[in-house]
Every structure is written in C-alpha cells, then in structure tokens.
Amino acid sequence: MTAIEFKRLLKAFADHPDDIDLTRDEAVIQVQNQIIGFRVHNKNGQILIDEGGVISSAESWVAQRLANLPSLAQRIIDYTDDEEKFVVPDGYFIDRIESSPTDEDTYVSNALSHLVKLVEVGSGMSTFVIYLTAEAGEGKTTLINQLARQQAKDYLVKKTGRLVVPIQLGGRSFLRLDDMIIGSVANNYRFRGLYIESFLELVKYGFVVPAFDGFEEMFVVGSSGEAVSSLGNFLANLESMGQLIVSARTAYFEIRDFESQARLFDGLRRGEASFARLKLQRWNKFQFIEYWNLRGLDNAEVVYAALVEKLGTKTHPLLTRAVLVRRLADIAADSNRFDRLLQKIGKASASYFAELVDSILEREIERKWTDRAEEGVHRPLLDIAQHHLLLSMIAVEMAVATSSQISFEELKLVTELFCDSQKLSPQINKQVTARIFDHPLLSKPDSNSNGICFDHEEFREFFLGEAIGQYVASGKLSDILSLFRKSVMSESVVDACVGMLKATNADTGNSINLLQSVIMADNVASYAKETGSKIIMRLIQQSGVRDVVVSDAYIGPEALIGIQINQITFKNCFYHNAVLRACILNECKFINCEFDEIEIHADSTIKDTILDNCIVHSVGIAGEDANIFSPETIQRILRRAGFSISGEEVAGDSESGEALPDGLVSLASRALRSFHRSTGVNESTLRLRLGKRGKEFEELVLPNLLEVGVLELDTYRGSGSDKRFRLGVKMSELEKALKESEGILGNFTEYFRKKKENGGELEGQ
C-alpha cells in the first residue's frame, strides 16, 4: 500500500476530511467520535503503523483498527442463521472468459468449497463478479449465509483475510444501492462503523466481499433498469479492484440480446470487470436422503421411492427443491398426515404446492389455531379457506408496498380488516389478531426486525397469485390494475392465479376478456400489459381453448416455452424474445406482430401457422451464440421451422441489385458477445471463441470494427505480445445497429460511421 493510497483510506474512514491531522510522521484521526493517534513509518516503500508501540502493516491496521473487521466477523456469526441441517449443493461453473472462452460448464460437486476457493483467489487485474444462480427456493440464500459464517470463523482464527458480507436486497423497495448496503450491514449485524466510501475501499483491497442476495428480485420490481445501472455504477466505483457475489435466478451475461445487457454494461465505461457463474443444481436422491436423515426421520429410502412412484418422476419439485423438501419433512413428522398428503398429490400432482400448503395449515388448525376461550373446548379459530384469504390479504398488502415484508402495525391492521370482513366475534377477532404474528407460514426476517415476511418467497407469491385469481374471477378490474402496475408478476404468481381460477371453475373466456381489458388499459409497454399477457397465455395453454384473439399483448421470453396451442390469433402483439422450445403451434396466426427475436429449437412443432405482415428483427438458433439479422435468411429459417409467411415486412426479399447478406454480421455479433462476460477481451481469447472462423474475423471483420470505433485497443497486461480490446460504443447501440444491418457488415459499420459524422446522432433521429 502506497502513502497516497493510505491517505485515501484515512479520508474514507474519517468522520470528516478535516478530522485528519498529519504532522510529518504523526497523525490523529477521528472515526465514529473516537480519536486515534498513531505514527507512520515508510520502510523500503512499505507503510507501517505504530500505535502505542505496536507496529503493524498499513493493511492490517486498516482492517483491524479502522474497519474493526474482527467485530464485524463476530456479528456475522451471531446474527446469521446457522443451518444445522445444511446439505451442500452441487452445480456447474463457468469461469472468467480468459479461462473459459467457449462458455463450457464444469461440474462442481461441492458448491460451498468452490465458492471459498473463488473468494480466496481474489480479483486479479479487474473486478471479479461471481454470479450465484438458481431458481427460488433452491438454496442460494442458505449457501451465502453458510459461506459468510465459514469465512467469519476462519477470519477470527486468522485462516483468511477476507470476509463475505451478505447484503439482503430481495423484495425491498428500491432506493439507492449504497444506502441499502450500509443499511443492511447496520440493521442485520448491528455494525455501524462503515460509510459507503469506507465500505468501497474495503472491497477494493479485498478485505470484504459483498454478496448481494436477491438482486434479480429487486431488478424485477424496478425493471426500468435502475437496479442494474446502480450495480454498474458500484462496479465502476471499484476501479477494476475487488470482487463480489451476485445471487440471482439468471446470470446477467447469459441474456442473449445486447439491449438488456446494456442496462448493466453501459455503466461500466470506466474500469474493468470480468464475470463468472456458479449455477446450483436441484437436489437429487442422495441429497434428499441426506436431509431426511439429518432431520432424524425414518425410512428415507422408502419415502423417496413412494414419492417417486406417486409423482411419476425423480425431478419433481417436491423431491428436488430445498424449501419444499424442508416443508415436506415438517409434515412427515406426523405419519398419518403425510400419508394423506401423498394420497392427495397422487390424485392431482399439478396442484402439489396447494396441497402442501393445505397440509401445513391443517396441522396448525388442529394443534394451535383453536379457540381456547372455553376450557376443554378446542374449536378451530379459522377454517382453511379463511387462512387462505387472510394470507392473501397480507400478500396483497406487501405487493402494494412493493416489499416482501410489512410492519407489525400493518399486519395487525390487515388482520383486523379480515376479521371484520368475515364478521368474526370480538372474542375470535382478539385471538386471531394475537396469533397472526406466530403463523406457521410467516416469520421475522431477522431477530431484530420490527416487520413480518412470509417464511419463503414461494409462499408470498402463492397467496398473491390466489388473490389475483379471486380478483379475476370476480371481475375486479380496478383492483387488478392497481396490483399489476406495481411490478411484473413472477411465474409462480401466475401459476397460483391460474390454479385459483381453475379451482373456482371460473369461465376461461370471461377471464381472458377481463385480462384483455387490463392489457388495453395501458397504451405502451407496461408491467400491467406484461403480467396480463402472461396470465392469458397460461390460461390458453391449460384450458385448451380455441378461436381466441389476443390483441396488443406484450409477451415475454418464456411464454411460448412448452406451450401447446391451437387456432389462436395474435394481433398487434410484441414479443421481446419468443423462445420456441418444446412447444406446439397448430393453426395459429400472428398478424401485425413484432418479434425482437425468435429463438428456434429443434424440439418444437409448428404446423399451419402464419406470420402475416409481421416484423422479425432477428432469429436465433439453439446452440449457436450468434443471431441472424439478414431478412432473406430470417425468412428461410422461419419457413424451414414450419411458418407460412405473408406480407412484406417479415423479411422483405432482396430486390435485384441489392446487397446480399455476407454472413460477417453474425461473426461480428458472436465476437461482440464476448464482452458480456468481461469489459476487456484478449485477441487470443477471441480466436479461441470463434474457432475455425477466427482468422476470417481477424482479416475481414476486426479492421472494420476498429475503424468505426466499435472496438478499441486496450492496454494488454499479460506476458507475450497479445492484443486486448474493449468496446468503444455503448452496448445499447449494438442492438440497434445489428437490427438495421440486414445481415450486411457494411450496413452495420455504416451505422456507427454516420453516428460519428453527426456528432453522436444519426440522421432522422
């Protein structure tokens, strides 16, 4: 650490820059109203600190004295739940692009030990971002907490010099990322010794590794992009130093289109960052049995075999998702109730989650939620339907506040409103209001919180979906709009909504018409339009209705995955990325629709389906990382996939004399996607990534990209004579240029040439 760096650190920790007094080799600093006096020595370029005769290196003194990290380590141990029944997940790892240029996965048998190794390796010459991905309920939060506790214990016995600090983001209203970081450290660990400036310095020098937990959930709530851009700004402030872990359902670099990527990467114009991903796998038989044995339950093998027989598959969520296995184990303690649950699941495995919830509630109704006003009399306070309604009202209140928790006062108020709506007696009202704080599906997020959340996000989303289903069945358009305009509803919410409509025998046609009104209520792309479209698509799929017209919908990437629909017409709809995987489209029509991208998979069946006067900007083929932008080639691929095409806007066959696609745009796109995983890429890495076409890229594409400034030469810091490149334009501009190129490299480069000539604005803009 140099003298300049040490002075910068002092300023970051001081209560005020004026609170530092440097006189020759003596100094006084005020930190958190504490006056610290010390002497500074520079020995052979190494900064040493002498405080009270105790001499230590500057790095050690900053960590131990200024940051008080031993105290933070102890707080992490004290305030982070220790999962005694922890089952270590396995997963697949994609390393930084220099080590894994072809995006190949490597199997990891122990995700926890692998994360420890990554944390200890450090960041190298750029900020190192480790994505930890899995679906909800598959153990991301538990793994991060176990990692944080292990690092904290090792720190206290001096086996490591790095702390992992979990920063809880999921479900919170978005304010500022720096406020959330410091607030999370202060509230969760009762540690108030850091400012955002000092926290950043600790991350830069590797003392602290922040683990942002629930980042994607926060992004979904604020999908205008503010959460992602704030992460980009946070990375930029690290100045190519430090490392962090980001827990999310999908690694951001795995999103195909440049436009979505731009939300994060356009904030990284200064500094360098590289990305890796550890994807957790769902549990298998051995992990299920290990957890069953840890819980002290008998006959693990027999139970697993019985569940597989009932569910018909070893990959069912009840067998593979950690949160559901935990709840299943809770019920298994009562063998009679467990047997009844197995019988119900066997009859209708599609409604397994609702059956699991009902089994949990039944146990509480019989054992705890009983009216004890009269001695010897134990009548249920509420029946199952009333429990569902109460929990749905709580979930709605959270959704309105765009938060995953509500305060004790709000919870009490919602409970009282529920009791009034059910016309419960004052005696029952009093008991329900008192016991709601200990409901089995609710919990405190931490021991110091003054609020309540659901025991897991899956339960919150389930009851929110049930509430929406009731609104749709009752035709409550205004209530639906007030919820939908808050955020995009997840797939779990949509599933629960459709399940409720099915359970109440709601008319599918009426439900679709109401949701169509929701879509038409907003003229432009919106949360309401996207969520309404999701539910319509799910209703069409599950009900098997035909001769339905869907208009002006905004249909997301996953809406067509696994779908089987017949004789459905889509008019004036927008598809961000239509992924045609394991789907069947039979006698469908797409009229005046716009597709940002259509992703073709070989396992789809498309028969007698028409694209009428549609716009398709690009086509992707499964297994290939470069999209097709040539209108002529797009037409050919779509026809080969099974579509019939009419109208001129789908692809517009090249007229005589027009330039034909040269195939080089796809090569350029494939190379540029390398920058999804690193802000700087070496020439040798590009060559490995492009394989046999590497030489073609170097000779025909790279010079053009350098000429118009799409790529710029960067400083190469390795051994040898390799070159290094970084993007010279915003990633958001790449998508526009690719769409307008029509598969011709000259058109692609001309876009940027004109932009430079017009001072950053293209003609007609």
In a domain, 151, yes or no: yes
- CATH code, domain carrying 206: 3.40.50
For the entire predicted model, the pTM comes to: 0.84
Nearest CA-CA partner of 404 in 321, 493, 471: 493
For the segment 164-181, the average pLDDT, to the nearest whole number, is 73
Q: Using alpha carbons only, what angle is made at residue 600 by residues 581 and 592, rounded to the nearest 5 degrees? A: 100
Nearest CA-CA partner of 548 in 497, 584, 512: 512
In a domain, 262, yes or no: yes
The Cβ of residue 17 has, within 10 Å, a number of other Cβ atoms equal to 9
Q: Is the pLDDT at 285 greater than 90, yes or no?
A: yes
Does one domain contain both 241 and 344? no
Does one domain contain both 269 and 353? no
Q: Is the pLDDT at 211 greater than 90, yes or no?
A: yes
The reported pLDDT for the residue numbered 414 is 95
In a domain, 420, yes or no: yes
pLDDT band at 173 (very low <50, low <70, confident <90, very high): very low
Residue 743, phi-psi category: left (phi > 0), alpha (psi -120 to 50), beta (remainder): left
pLDDT band at 175 (very low <50, low <70, confident <90, very high): low
| 575 and 593 Cβ atoms separated by less than 8 Å | yes
In a domain, 268, yes or no: yes
Does one domain contain both 436 and 507? no
Does one domain contain both 568 and 605? yes
Nearest CA-CA partner of 612 in 657, 572, 576: 572
The rounded distance, in Å, linking the Cα atoms of 365 and 478 is 34
In a domain, 430, yes or no: yes
- Give whole-number Cα distances, 397 to 401, 405, 437, in Å: 6, 9, 16
In a domain, 492, yes or no: yes
Both tokens of residue 570? Answer: 């889509």
For the segment 133-151, the average pLDDT, to the nearest whole number, is 91
Q: Is the pLDDT at 257 greater than 70, yes or no?
A: no
- Rounded to a whole number of angstroms, the distance between the first and last alpha carbons of the chain is 49
Can you give the residue range of the structural domain that contains 265? 67-280
DSSP state of 438: G
Burial class (CB in 10 A: 0-12, 13-18, 19+), 120: middle
Q: How many domains does the chain divide into?
A: 6
The rounded distance, in Å, linking the Cα atoms of 155 and 146 is 14
Does one domain contain both 191 and 115? yes
Does one domain contain both 444 and 321? no
Does one domain contain both 539 and 573? yes
The reported pLDDT for the residue numbered 269 is 59
Does one domain contain both 17 and 111? no
Does one domain contain both 86 and 47? no
Both tokens of residue 658? Answer: 């027009």
pLDDT digits 0-9 by tens, 32-51: 778 888 888 888 778 888 88
Backbone angles phi, psi at 456, to 5 degrees: -155, 155
What SS3 class is residue 541?
A: helix
Sequence-separated (6 or more) residues with CB below 8 Å from residue 443: 452, 453, 454, 455
Does one domain contain both 522 and 383? no
Does one domain contain both 555 and 625? yes
In a domain, 373, yes or no: no
Does one domain contain both 324 and 407? no
Bigger pLDDT: 265 or 129? 129
3-class SS string, 513-537: HHHHHHHHHCCCCCHHHHHHHHHHH
Q: Which range, of 274-278, 526-530, 601-605, averages the lowest pLDDT?
A: 526-530
Nearest CA-CA partner of 137 in 500, 406, 492: 492
pLDDT band at 656 (very low <50, low <70, confident <90, very high): very low
The rounded distance, in Å, linking the Cα atoms of 670 and 624 is 9
In a domain, 478, yes or no: no
The radius of gyration of the chain from alpha carbons, rounded to an integer in Å, stands at 29
360-376 residues labelled b (16+ CB within 10 A) or e (exposed): bbbbbbeeebbbeeeee
User: Among the three residues 245, 261, 280, which one is the final residue of a domain in this structure?
Assistant: 280
Chain position carrying tokens 């979904």: 220
Burial class (CB in 10 A: 0-12, 13-18, 19+), 418: buried
3-class SS string, 466-514: HHHHHHHHHCCHHHHHHHHCCCCCCHHHHHHHHHHHHHCCCCHHHHHHH
